[in-house]
Amino acid sequence: MSENFGLFKGLKVTFKELFKKSVTDKYPKQFREKPQRFHGRHVLNRYEDGMEKCIGCELCAGVCPAQCIYVRGEENPEDNPVSPGERYGFIYEINMLRCIYCALCVEACPTEAITMSSLFEMSVTNRADAIFDKSVLVVDDSGKPRSHEEKTNLTNEKDLQNFDGWMRATSSNGNPNYQNVINWSGSLGYGKKEPEKGQHLEEE
C-alpha cells in the first residue's frame, strides 16, 4: 500500500510539471540574451583614425594564467606606422582552446586594445583553426569584429558585435565619482560610446 502511495505521489509531481510552460530555449535557432559585460571571444580594436590600439607591450600575454596569448611587438615603420606608439603588435595569437575567459588580459591592457565580445559559441574543424591571429582578431576597416568562420553560419553575429561592455561600466572600481563619466578612447566606426546606465551609490 505504501509503495502505491509513493508511486501516485511521484506521478502527481510529474503531471503538475507536465502542463507548465517550457523554459527550454530552441537552440540554436534562438540564442539567449547575454549581459553587456559577458566574457566571450576577444577583439582587437582600432582608434577612430584607423590605427591599431595594440602597442605590442605583451602585458596581456604576461598576465594570462592559461598562457594562451602570444604577442611579439616590433618597432613601428616610420613611413607607415601601424599604431600611434613606438611599437605595435607584429604577431598576436590567442589559443581559444586554452582560454578560460577570465578577462585579465582586458584589465591589463593599457590602451584598451583588447576587449571581449559576448560570443562564446564557436566551432572549428581542427585544432589549428582555434588559434586566432590578427586576421581574425583585429576589427575590419569599418570597426566591426571579424568572424573566424568562412563558410559556416554558426556564429551569432549579434553576440560578436557586443564587444566593448567591460569599459562601459559607469563606476570605475566601484567609485561613484566616475558614475556616467566616459573614461575611454573612441573606437573606429563607433566613436566614444555612452556609458552604461543604472549604477547607483548604495545608501548605508
Yes or no: say if 134 and 70 are a contact pair by the CB < 8 Å rule. no
Yes or no: say if 38 and 46 are a contact pair by the CB < 8 Å rule. no
What are the percentages of helix, strand and coil residues in the chain, rounded to 5?
25, 15, 60
SS3 110: coil
The residue whose grid cell reads 527550454 is: 24
Can you say whether the dihedral through the CA atoms of 17, 20, 23, 26 is positive or negative? positive
Average pLDDT on 130-151 reads: 87
> Which backbone phi and psi does 3 adopt, to 5 degrees?
-65, -45
Percent of the chain predicted with pLDDT > 70: 83
Please give the grid coordinates belonging to residue 44. 582587437
**pLDDT reported for residue 60:** 95
**pLDDT reported for residue 204:** 46
Average pLDDT on 36-42 reads: 86
Sheet holding 131-132, edge to edge: 69-75, 87-95, 131-132
Out of 36-45, 78-87, 145-154, pick the least confident. Answer: 145-154
Mean pLDDT value across the chain: 82
Domains of the chain: 25-178 (3.30.70.3270)
- Please tell me which residue, 162 or 138, carries the higher pLDDT value: 138
- Please tell me which residue, 97 or 154, carries the higher pLDDT value: 97
78-133 pLDDT, tens digit per residue, is: 899 999 989 999 999 999 999 999 999 998 999 999 999 988 888 788 889 899 99
Yes or no: say if 160 and 117 are a contact pair by the CB < 8 Å rule. yes
pLDDT at 64 over 90: yes
Can you say whether the dihedral through the CA atoms of 88, 91, 94, 98 is positive or negative? negative
| pTM for the structure as a whole | 0.78
